[in-house]
Chains A and B, each alone.
Chain A
């Protein structure tokens, strides 16, 4: 089998060496001002103009410090005829790849816009006349090439059983996470130790950390408010529990009952995640605020004074539960579906009642899903910015405090950083608690031994509880969305309720002009930017997330816990901090990305990747490891195994990751506010602008359009990726359900 499988082919690294050369000698080395993909540079003086020249030419033009990169690009040519068992093969690749990568990065950090970045170096070598800007696609390709040469060398030297794919995947994920999570976070954390005069000081940290504003407990004994730390923690616990329970109830109704509308229920639960966070808050105010529709109605009916109960903990909790229950549902549905029917049948045949089967078998098997759902709810709540912003009242939480520390009159980066560290501690504790709780038990339910059978029905009491909880909640959600949709068609909410189409035509009118279609509406610009950037970010996020979870679940390597920590870190950081940290880290060479669309894509990918990772982990721990091992012993390498065995079995997780990351990119606010630019404005920041101007009509109309677009996208992704086919009856059910929903549509 060996030779045909290409296992003993010489110089398997050649494509990566070529990639390195293309980056070095062909593509523009530095960032192209007007955008690489415009290809304007091709006719504007490439390859000799110093703005567009590849590194080889740049070096000749005076940036001589680029010359040493030739060494690691030439060295591998000498081992091109050697096999990978030759010790020189590994040695040359490790040294040249490692040196090339390190040197490339180092020169980027050392030589900046105005020559030397460090005065020590200037003193040592004298002033420098040359300068360089942010790295571009040339540098990116060369760096990638070096990195893979390095990891190929490690694999040839025996790392990870010589698996080049796994070694390289780990290397690439580490490099990406280091650059786009650790570097920016590091920059923020450093500022926690900078005093107002700009020098490093630990006193600055202590001063910001030990204050009553953070740790005060006044609310227990008096009516004064507690510290923000306690507020955040309490809110997050409440939200974690409520979203997990509701999510579980929805998942059970959707999979274990014959409830007639359960398919529609699924769609309904997806609604809140496709809504920009402040929109829910807004709708709640319109319903329950002092002048809200329901508040007015109730106060007229009972003759009581309208209250302000919505502003504060109850309101935020309500809004967060509305917002995050669907995420818990998405996480749990895969798990609930994955619980093997034969295990439930086994329990029932052992004489257990349906309730006992659920309590003793199904529920424990769902533990990883429940833990993940809770964790996500907890962290989402901690990091949520939109709802506390709109509904907070006097109830202050960490995320808004951070925002005001930076944006407010104080502009106190040190204080913001301290609060961020605190937030990180909370979320990380949740993360570790979850690890301990799950322990090392096996939760494998999709084993290689195929099985058929039906899921156990639910105990009637439990079924009634689930329906009793989910139906009102679904109705409530519908009401909220009714408000949102309706709001776009009235002239002015609360004052003039006559119907109009004016908001929609302002935002989304199109015109047939002489040159064809003309996008006349004011919203089109930000709309198309949002769609494009989200559509680019979603598959990248899903791919990176699932690849990472594959490495975490299926591979053994040293430092794996640290690796997991790194990939999950960004999830624990609220968007406001990410936004600020990206600006701090990517405003200057070597990574000069602010103002581009790339920075938005990167921000989305690394913020949302943890959800892909967690979903992937939960789904993958349910796949019996002997499936991969069987594939390996049958001669497939790990890439093929991933592609042909694991991914097809992970389809629900893929759908979840794609949908989630696309939708999150569209709806996210907190990080985006810092990163948008005139050329790349996103829908949410545009809508917030409208809200600030009091243009509620257009704002709500725009939000409705976004919601519809996301619904459409979810539908398309689900159709494209399809359901996994493990049991024939499952598939039949899926197809008949599809034709049924089609019929419903036609009707």
Chain B
């Protein structure tokens, strides 16, 4: 592969972006290391696209600094930034062939015909579209168009590759395949990539790190695992994987960083996450609620099954209990419990986390 990438870092310093009275981004700071794929994740309207467009230079922050590859590019327009973007709609030029699309950036930067042609070939080969150069975009499937958009961005050897919801126009089956391809390509080339999505599963699957945004600010930032296992807030716990949020109490804290927590009639030890004794919220993953048919000698929390849904490899339960309504996923198909039964619950501590808020 003769792409000569110099992956760059991206730093946001106290960025605010206002559109008139609407604040789309509110005092956001983060940094992205070279060679990493970082996902901006969050519900629709939280400011992901705006953030991405400010990295690209298509929008300019109202306040703050953008630093790419160590250079302050805050006032540089998109044209002068060493950043390429794959648009949600792909934005392929409909009047140009695939090869002309991929070669566009090279030819406007003044590269000769011969060399442009060679690099276009390489780019198309990279995304598995060798031989498709003479087609028009309208003659390709959605997945192929998407790959052309990626090739077009990559042949410029950008410091940073930006992808705005790149899978949203693809059908579900294709999505998994394409996201793996994007991830493989990114790792193979050592690219810095910023990836926008509202789909948490997609984010967990492709990212080195995830920045979760909510209402114009960063809600939490970390590796997929950190976000899943140590959600900082009920928003994160709920947004990344499902979670049951229940009330409990920290009875005592003891070193190293452990707390004894009481939930209704149960007690367990969990990482304290810096919290002091007192009432606390706890997130419990649905697959970490363990159900048994109720019997007098079990000391779990009592409850009743409202719904039981069979899904082939798992069963979903809705439980009514003293903690409120809980959602439970159980993989022990052979031990299915029918709706209406009384049960007794315990929790596996690997799927529990104390929440600061």
Binding site for B on A (CB under 8 A): 1-2, 4-7, 158, 161-163, 446-452, 624, 626-627, 629-638, 640, 644-645, 648-649, 724-728
Count of chain A to chain B residue pairs whose CB atoms are closer than 8 Å in the complex: 128
* In the complex, the 4 A-B pairs of residues with the closest C-beta atoms, listed nearest first: A448-B91, A634-B105, A450-B137, A630-B91
Q: Which of B40-48, B73-81, B245-253, B317-325 contacts A (4 or more CB under 8 A)?
A: B73-81
Report A730 CB to chain B, min CB distance, Å: 9
- Whether B87 contacts A630 by the Cβ 8 Å rule is yes
Return the contact of A450 from the options B87, B138, B153 (Cβ within 8 A): B138
Add 10 more A-B contacts to A4-B109, A5-B108, A635-B156 (CB < 8 A): A2-B80, A161-B77, A448-B89, A449-B145, A629-B56, A632-B57, A634-B152, A636-B79, A644-B104, A726-B95
Q: Are B109 and A629 in contact (CB under 8 A)?
A: no
Judging by beta carbons under 8 Å apart, are B56 and A448 in contact? no
Instruction: Using CB atoms, name the residue of chain A closest to B108.
Output: A636
Question: In the complex the two chains form, is B56's CB within 8 Å of A633's CB?
Answer: yes
Residues A725 and B95 in contact, CB atoms below 8 Å apart = yes
Residues of B within 8 A of A (CB): 56-58, 60, 75-85, 87-95, 104-105, 108-111, 136-140, 142, 145, 152-153, 156, 162, 169
Kindly name the residue among B56, B88, B104, B145 whose own CB sees the greatest number of chain A CB atoms within 10 A: B104
Q: How far in angstroms is the closest Cβ of chain B from A587?
A: 45
- Interface majority SS on B: helix, strand, loop or mixed? loop
Q: Provide the residues of chain B in CB contact with A629, threshold 8 Å.
A: 56, 58, 78, 85, 87, 91
Q: What are the residues of chain B within 8 A of A637 when measuring CB–CB?
A: 79
Q: How far apart are the CA atoms of A725 and B140 in the complex, in Å?
A: 15
Contact partner, A626, options B87, B95, B156, Cβ 8 Å: B87
> Roughly how many angstroms separate A638 CA and B138 CA in the complex, as a whole number?
25
Distance in angstroms between the alpha carbons of A630 and B152 in the assembled complex: 10
Which residues on the B side are within 8 Å of A632 (C-beta)? 57-58, 77-79
Q: A161-B77, A624-B89 are in contact. Are A631 and B104 (CB under 8 A)?
A: yes
Query: Which residue of chain A has the shortest Cβ distance to B142 in the bound complex?
Result: A449
Whole-angstrom CA separation of A728 from B136 in the bound complex: 8
**Interface pair B91/A627, CB less than 8 Å apart:** yes
| Distance of A727 Cα from B91 Cα, bound (Å) | 15
Give the docked Cα–Cα distance between A632 and B109 (Å): 11
B109–A446 CB distance below 8 A: no
Closest partner residue, chain A, to B137 (CB atom): A450
Q: How far is the CA of A726 from the CA of B84 in the complex (A)?
A: 24
CA distance A13 to B111 in the complex (A): 24
Given known A449-B145, A627-B93, contact A7–B58 (CB-CB < 8 A) = no
Q: Are A448 and B94 in contact (CB under 8 A)?
A: yes
- What is the chain B residue whose CB lies nearest that of A162? B77
Distance to closest chain B CB from A508 (angstroms): 42
- Interface pairs (20), CB distance under 8 Å: A1-B156, A2-B82, A5-B108, A158-B75, A161-B75, A448-B90, A448-B94, A449-B145, A450-B94, A450-B136, A450-B137, A632-B58, A633-B81, A634-B104, A634-B152, A635-B156, A638-B79, A645-B93, A725-B95, A728-B139
- Whether A448 pairs with B93 at a CB distance below 8 angstroms is yes
CB distance from A106 to the nearest CB of B (A): 34
Q: How far is the CA of A17 from the CA of B93 in the complex (A)?
A: 36
Given A7-B80, A450-B140, A635-B108, the answer on whether A161 and B89 have CB atoms closer than 8 Å is: no
**What's the Cα separation between A549 and B173 when bound, in Å?**
42
**B108 pairs with A640, CB closer than 8 A:** yes
Specify which chain B residues have a CB less than 8 angstroms from the CB of A630 in the assembled complex: 85, 87, 91-93, 152
The answer to whether A448 and B139 touch across the interface, beta carbons within 8 angstroms, is: no
When chains A and B are docked, how far (Å) is the Cα of A637 from the Cα of B105? 11
